[in-house]
Amino acid sequence: MRFLKQAAAMFITFSLFFSSNQISQAEPSISVSAKSAIVMDGSSGRVLFAKDEHEKRRIASITKIMTAILAIESGKLEETVTVSDRAVRTEGSSIYLKSGQKVKLKDLVYGLMLRSGNDAAVAIAEHVGGSREGFVYMMNQKAADLGMENTVFHNPHGLDDHKDHYSTAYDMALLTKYAMTNKTYQKIAGTKHYKAETMQGFWKNKNKLLTGLYRYSTGGKTGYTKLAKRTLVSTSSKDGTNLIAVTINAPDDWNDHIQMFNYVYDHYKTYVIAKKGEIPKLKDTFYGTKAFIKRDVTYLLNDDEKDHVRIETKLLKPKKSWRKNKQAIPDIIGEMNVKLDTETIAKLPIYYENEQNKKPKQSFLDTFTSVFKKAAGGAAWSI
């Protein structure tokens, strides 16, 4: 932050737990059938297990996650789409659209995600992007914005009609992490059955994890082509921990995903490292109870790692004039840097409460284990 460079600062380190032992991280006991695989924390983006996650591969219909989120973000879900001949002629899986048919965009997105309709993908692309080609441009622009560095889209459905349509397990996990921040996407991807409003159709989701195989499943997207083989993106949630799994070219993908999810749930927990609102350990500083952060800091940790979390807090050195004129104190008075050993896992500003800048109420996330609460009694600060 610029202001920290311009002023002297107090530097405070809060070690949540103390341990002289090195972290012992055994290799995960996971063996998957997939050529590429990954399981990622849906909140922080932390990768818990990976296998050739950056290898560029054909991805088949998990492409449609990008098609769906762009359609949702267009704000046009209630608009009526006139289905084109080009959409109807699209090969492969279908929701059996007819040329000239008028269908609500929302129905097309449900048909896209639940039944993997390639005809729906083209109809969506033409309506949202003005043309299939225009929509593909939007797909690649969004991929670039999300940091999907090893992804190129050439169609909205994932069919093998272009040799340079590819992505990676890591990039598809990034895309899904982003998509899952959208409540409408969450709802559609997690729907088991859907009755179309503007066409004939009562659809069951092809995602067997969601419809019966895995109790913690919250959604995802299946895929298959002769060249890509079986591809699968799935999400799950248990005890406040949200996970994303991706497999590409996986003959036993259902079991791959269950195994990856269960491994993480068995070995990791989501901890609250710091809660939004007042920062208790700053009460005795100049800023007192007026210093606060605006959001909770949570992170997925195993039993060894939680002993190695530290909070480093850098505060502006108070000016003498501020004691008499509290209104001169800046809105942002410092920075909280949360580290796992030497790796920064969260960085956020520390605010000073005033009439315009209100402190949020303390949150109580009962489903999480609070590192902060456990450490508060015995940890030490140094200035």
* Sign of the CA dihedral running 15, 17, 20, 23: negative
Taking alpha carbons only, the member of 183, 155, 182 closest to residue 167 is 155
**Residue with the two structure tokens 């600062």:** 9
What are 89-109's pLDDT values in tens digits?
A: 999 999 999 999 999 999 999
Taking alpha carbons only, the member of 225, 271, 262 closest to residue 60 is 225
Active site residues: 61, 64, 116
What are 228-239's pLDDT values in tens digits?
A: 999 999 999 999
> Tokens for 126?
């033409």
pLDDT of residue 12: 61
Coil, strand, or helix at residue 334?
strand
Taking alpha carbons only, the member of 170, 165, 155 closest to residue 227 is 165
Quote the Cα angle for 350-355-358, to 5°. 45
What are 51-93's pLDDT values in tens digits?
A: 999 999 999 999 999 999 999 999 999 999 999 999 999 999 9
pTM for this prediction: 0.86
Where helices occur in 33-168 by DSSP H, the ranges are 64-73, 85-88, 105-115, 118-129, 132-145
Q: How confident is the model at residue 147 (pLDDT cuts 50, 70, 90)?
A: very high
Q: Would you say 204 and 224 are in contact if contact means Cβ atoms under 8 Å apart?
A: no
pLDDT at residue 146 tops 60: yes
What are 236-262's pLDDT values in tens digits?
A: 999 999 999 999 999 999 999 999 999
pLDDT of residue 22: 33
Give, in order, the Cα–Cα distances in Å from 85 to each of 98, 99, 101, 103, 123.
8, 5, 10, 14, 9
pLDDT of residue 105: 98
CA distance 274 to 285: 18
Q: Would you say 53 and 36 are in contact if contact means Cβ atoms under 8 Å apart?
A: yes
Coil, strand, or helix at residue 320?
helix
- Domains of the chain (ranges; CATH) run 2-21+270-375 (2.30.140.30), 36-251 (3.40.710.10)
Q: Would you say 374 and 5 are in contact if contact means Cβ atoms under 8 Å apart?
A: no
Q: Would you say 308 and 4 are in contact if contact means Cβ atoms under 8 Å apart?
A: no
pLDDT of residue 361: 76
The terminus-to-terminus CA distance of the chain in angstroms comes to: 20
